[in-house]
Amino acid sequence: MILNLNKPIGWTSFDVCKKIRGIIKEKKVGHGGTLDPFAQGVLIVGTGKDTKELNAISKQNKTYEASILLGSLTDTLDIDGKITQKKNIPKLSESLITNVLNSFIGEYLQTPPMYSAKKIKGKKLYEYARKNITIERSPIMVKIHSMSLKNFNNKNISFSVECSKGTYIRVLGKEIAEKLGTLGHLDGLVRTKVGKFSIRDSQSIETFMMSWKSFLQQKN
């Protein structure tokens, strides 16, 4: 079974898999691409023999809607982290922001953040980060297919982006702020698409649980 779930804010991707495992009583449950705890939106979950499809799903393009809070940087590059630096915000204009967003379109080398699940020397990077250890990370080639400005004010920028597998939107948010002459971290992130799977067709965990109970009742 392949499920298109709408991950709620505050849950890890592992939390979702664990919950589904408990609902359907199936040991083999996995997901097709991690979504950060502070983020919400499309999380593809596979169960049983269908978990073998998750590798192909994880390689597909992803679309996000993100919000950058300007003027400060956190250690995790998102709203869950501790503020490490602050900087004044210059005067912004729609044309300036649009030009900066467009400058990222195409392939570019992006360095994975320390707070990430990427493994180096057998450990996830966030395990080092939690001990205040910084590990040298090799940049990886990612591709930004499209970006568009949704809204902005003197503190926030909202944008949508379609990108390749392995793109860290938290890093992208930080880099956008830097190109605008300030600092920034994400204060909102919604994954709206993974390949053909759209948030329009996503179901909440609660809805799935109810439909599964109904399915079992009909079966019996």
Of 191, 158, 176, 199, which is closest to residue 64 (Cα–Cα)? 191
Judged on CB neighbours under 10 Å (0-12, 13-18, 19+), 93 is exposed
What radius of gyration do the chain's Cα atoms show? Answer: 19
What's the sign of the alpha-carbon dihedral 93, 69, 85, 36?
A: negative
Is 134 within 8 Å of 128 (Cβ atoms)? yes
Token pair, residue 201, equals: 């067709």
Q: What angle do CA 165, 58, 192 make, to 5 degrees?
A: 75
Separation of alpha carbons 185 and 39, rounded Å: 13
3-class DSSP state of 133: coil
Separation of alpha carbons 74 and 48, rounded Å: 39
Strand bridging mode 40-47 / 184-194: parallel
Token pair, residue 68, equals: 């950058």
187 is catalytic: no
- Active-site residue, selected from the candidate residues 36, 75, 78, 187: 36
Helix axes 13-24, 205-219, angle to 10 degrees: 10
Q: Which residues form the catalytic set?
A: 36
